[in-house]
Structure 1
Amino acid sequence: MAKIQSLAAAVAELVHDGDTVALEGFTHLIPVAAGQEIIRQRRRELTLVRMTPDIVYDQLIGAGCARKLVFSWGGNPGVGSLHRFREAVQQGWPAPLEIEEHSHAGMANRYVAGASGLPFAVLRGYAGTDLPTVTDTIKFIECPFTGERLAVVPAINPDVTIIHAQRADRQGNVQLWGLLGVQKEAVLAARRSLVTVEEIVDELTPVPGAIVLPGWAITAVAEVPGGAHPSYAQGYSERDNAYYAAWDAIGRDRDAFTGWLDRHVFTTTGSPA
């Protein structure tokens, strides 16, 4: 059964320097508060994994938490670039950042392989791209049955996966619905997992299209209302488009960014910024 903890206690226990950490959620239910708690606890040398790193990863990278990013697309959705990410790659500030780039299909299949206990995934992909020339974790094999040339990518098994969901019960079973990504696979692939939720309830009631992650598959649950802000949580909150627009100017300038960290992350106690 998952342990119910505060966000600060769960991050302190589950996220260690040097870990491989995946924060998943596709435009919806992004675990932003958890990412900012990782910054607040000043974790370092992390390998960050995410299919679509957006502003929470810009914040983690800019705060010096990351040494490597494994991803398939990166940007401020609907706005433009991630300037902290860009400066880390191009200028090594605040620390050099290694990147490992895949396609969306490659990343999704890597999580599925990790969740399935398999060493790698096989897919039709990457043909006609130059990604295999710059990413060592893309290889090709010949199908032993048809002779077809297929791409293979290694499983992802994060040390810890963190997601946000709408609710959990007191036994640690988690329910999420709406626009979903690879949250289920990322949790099942991980050695440890943390789920932040909008609320903890006595009983999970059925919701059309919802999935339930059983408490035995989750390490810890933390109640963090608004923990996905500025992304949205269907049934609880709407997307804060103004935040994404404002982030462009904050992320673009080192002094503006470090000032933002001081005001909204390091001087708070876990409430979403």
Structure 2
Amino acid sequence: MAEFLSLREAVSKYINDGDTVAMEGFTHLIPFAAGHEVIRQKKRNLTLIRMTPDLVYDQMIGAGCAKKLMFSWGGNPGVGSLHRLRDALENGWPNSIEILEHSHAAMACAYDAGAAGLPLAVLRGYVGSDLPKVNDQIKFIECPFTGERLAAVRSVRPDVTVIHAQRADRKGNVLIEGIIGIQKEAVLAAKRSIVTVEEIVDDLNAGVNACVLPSWAITAVVEAPKGASPSYALGYYDRNNAFYKEWDSIARERDTFQAWLKKNVFEKGAA
């Protein structure tokens, strides 16, 4: 059953150096507040998993938290490159990192297999792709029923999954509204999970076919208003498009990035 903790407590208790950590949320509900707390606590040697690593992972990589990144697309949406990721890959600053690249379809299938407790996922894909040449977790198998050649990928089973959502009730059940990415599967695939929410309420008021994560699937619930900003949370606040544009110049140089990190992450703290 989920326990209610502060963000500081949840990250300290459930994210350890060397863990494999997934932080998911597609377009909105990206867990920025949790990512910043990981930075503040100076977690190290993390293997970061995210289908679409964007600003939050650029910040964590630039802060020295990561040793490896597993992903299927990386960039600043609508703007350009992730400069801290590029600096780590090209120049080893602040430390070098490994990358493991998949397709979107393979990542989604790998999470789904992890949620089902399976060791691998099978899909039609990677035919003609060069990714199998650089990713040793992509194999090809023969279907025992049809003889068809299919791709197989190792399932994703993180030590910890972190997501953001709109609401949790006082029993620890969580409601996710709006665009649903891979959050549900990422939580179910993980050994432990932290869910930050905009608010804790008496009743979720969940509609028919709503995405509700049950308390038994969640390790810790954290009330963290605006915990997804500068991304958006449907029904609570809009995306801060200006910041995504500003990030390009902030992250481009090490000095401006470090100054931003000091002012906006380390000096702000978390409850």
Aligned to 1:211: 211
Does 1:6 find its partner at 2:18?
no
In 2, Cα distance between equivalents of 1:206 and 1:266: 36
Query: What amino acid does structure 2 have at the position aligned with 1:115?
Result: A
Q: Deviations over 1:5-41 (max 9, x none)?
A: 1011000000000000000000110001100100000
Quick check: 1:28–1:180 contact (8 Å CA) kept in 2? no
Aligned to 2:147: 147
Compute the displacement of 1:215 (Å): 0.3
Quick check: 2:175–2:206 contact (8 Å CA) kept in 1? no
Query: What amino acid does structure 1 have at the position aligned with 2:50?
Result: R
Quick check: 1:141–1:149 contact (8 Å CA) kept in 2? yes
Where 1:152 maps in the other structure, the secondary structure is: strand
Q: Identity rate of aligned residues, in percent?
A: 67
Quick check: 1:178–1:209 contact (8 Å CA) kept in 2? no
In 2, Cα distance between equivalents of 1:186 and 1:268: 29
Where 1:64 maps in the other structure, the secondary structure is: coil
In 2, Cα distance between equivalents of 1:86 and 1:210: 38
Quick check: 1:17–1:44 contact (8 Å CA) kept in 2? yes
Aligned to 1:16: 16
Does 1:110 find its partner at 2:102?
no
Query: What amino acid does structure 2 have at the position aligned with 1:241?
Result: N
Q: Deviations over 1:128-187 (max 9, x none)?
A: 110000101000001111111100000111000000000000110000110110000000
Q: How many residues are aligned here?
A: 271
In 2, Cα distance between equivalents of 1:162 and 1:236: 20
Aligned to 1:254: 254
In 2, Cα distance between equivalents of 1:186 and 1:142: 28
Q: Deviations over 1:40-60 (max 9, x none)?
A: 000000000000000000000
In 2, Cα distance between equivalents of 1:181 and 1:90: 30
Where 2:262 maps in the other structure, the secondary structure is: helix
Alignment of 1:92-107 (within 5 A): 92-107=92-107
Aligned to 1:68: 68
Query: What amino acid does structure 1 have at the position aligned with 2:48?
Result: L
Gaps of 5+ in 1: none
Aligned to 2:124: 124
Q: Deviations over 1:187-237 (max 9, x none)?
A: 000000000000000111023652000001000000000000010000001
RMSD: 0.9
Query: What amino acid does structure 1 have at the position aligned with 2:49?
Result: V
Quick check: 1:177–1:209 contact (8 Å CA) kept in 2? no
Normalising by structure 1, report the TM-score: 0.98
Aligned to 1:168: 168
In 2, Cα distance between equivalents of 1:209 and 1:140: 36
| 4+ residue runs over 3 A deviation | none
Normalising by structure 2, report the TM-score: 0.99
